[in-house]
Amino acid sequence: MDIIKSIEHEQMKNAIPDLKVGDTVKVHQRIKEGNRERIQVFEGIIIKKQGGGLNATFTVRRVAYGCGVEKTFLIHSPMVEKIEVVRVGKARRAKLYYLRERLGKAAKTKEAIGARIENKEIVIKGAEVEEAPVAEETVAPVEEVKEEAPVVEETAKEVAKAEETPKAE
């Protein structure tokens, strides 16, 4: 069993977004057509989440041209490029199958009051530790910008001297 778990752990993404049932999301999915590859966005409400580990899935429902469309995505699939939370919904159930019979505004969930759209991510692997030094490196170029400021002042003095010389002539 340890061999299977280790293989599954290698296939998992480092961090996944914190998804809840009732949220409106945009799922960016890679589509391969022949030798071309493109990204297609599917926006809708999450009506269910199921499974765990590598096989965890979520189902997104939207109404397109008056017809309800549901798509099930694997969270850890390499074909799912990214998932954006557009709106935080308020749901009191684990599965929102009742939205299938509803149309128009009634097919939406209420928005959670005071909810902020945050890019919370659940860290699965310890890859976040490697990214911490990158933030420190971004501080170093800021210091370089401060060093460039006196150079600008020197050029301003040179421009002032250049303006003075034609007046003397």
The answer to pTM > 0.85 is no
Do 90 and 151 belong to one domain? no
Residues spanned by the domain of 78: 2-125
Residues 135 and 53 in one domain: no
Q: Domain boundary at 105, 125, 145, which?
A: 125
Domain shared by 134 and 54, yes or no: no
pLDDT digits (tens, 9 = 90+) for 102-142: 988 898 888 888 777 777 788 887 744 444 444 444 444 44
Calpha distance 23→153 (Å, rounded) = 53
Question: What are the pLDDT digits (tens) for 43-62?
Answer: 999 999 999 888 999 999 99
Region of residue 34 (phi > 0: left; psi between -120 and 50: alpha; otherwise: beta): left
Using the predicted structure, report yes or no on whether residue 167 has a pLDDT greater than 70: no
On whether both 134 and 85 belong to a single domain, the answer is no
